[in-house]
Amino acid sequence: MKAEETSGRVAVITGGFGALGQVVAAAAIEHGFHVAVLGHTAEPPASLARGLGPNAFLLGGVDLADEAAATTAMKAVVSRFGRTDALLNIAGGFRWIKIEDSHSADLELLFRMNVQTAANAIRAALPALKKSPAGRIVNVGALAAEKAAAGMGPYAASKAAVLRLTEALAEELKDAGVTVNAVLPSIIDTAQNRADMPKADFSRWVAPGDLAEAMLFLASEKARAITGARIAVPGRV
């Protein structure tokens, strides 16, 4: 995808201060997008602000699990750029816990982090996305949503809900010019995952840059015929 194909288009990256979000934001700029990067922490990493340059809009302290906060953030993006063309939903979280050791609070937390954030961001961004000539929503699911391993039940259930959200939205928005798709990575090669699994073969994991490319293709105008899709990005796991 050449930069000129997306020149002037605006991509919103949620969870943009995290390991994957930072890579996706940088890749989006390389592909010609203007970027709005939303993060939960109050301040973005200093390296992110430097790397993305002065034209990027970095908005911290955004709790997307709060509907009002999501609405305020998306309005701020439109105020800055005048439009929103793509929403890349990365915000979320992970917990490894066996079902027998879990409590209702664990399920509530994971659904809040993974489902409510996505739903609120989408709902808040839709008015602007519907005005775009090529509105795009790309959600981050997980391969665990298709088949959960031990200790992955609550997390996988929340990510499965993200997939059902994706499917329903794709049907609802077929006539609105907005496509809705999801990518399903296995283990993403991040510093945190390496620390948690130091004996693993990191080369088999999904590089954040590779996942970013899959997401940006789905966010491109070339992907206009793809909606309601679940794109597996397993690496070699």
Per residue in 113-166, pLDDT (tens digit) is: 999 999 999 999 999 999 999 999 999 999 999 999 999 999 999 999 999 999
d(CA 84, CA 87): 8
Please give the pLDDT value at position 28.
98
> How do residues 52-110 score in pLDDT, each as one tens digit?
999 999 999 999 999 999 999 999 999 999 999 999 999 999 999 999 999 999 999 99
Classified as helix, coil or strand, 85 is coil
d(CA 128, CA 73): 12
Phi and psi for 135 in degrees, rounded to 5?
A: -70, 140
- The enclosing domain of 206 has a CATH number of 3.40.50.720
Q: Which domain holds residue 219?
A: 3-233
Which residues are bridge partners to 206 per DSSP? Answer: 188
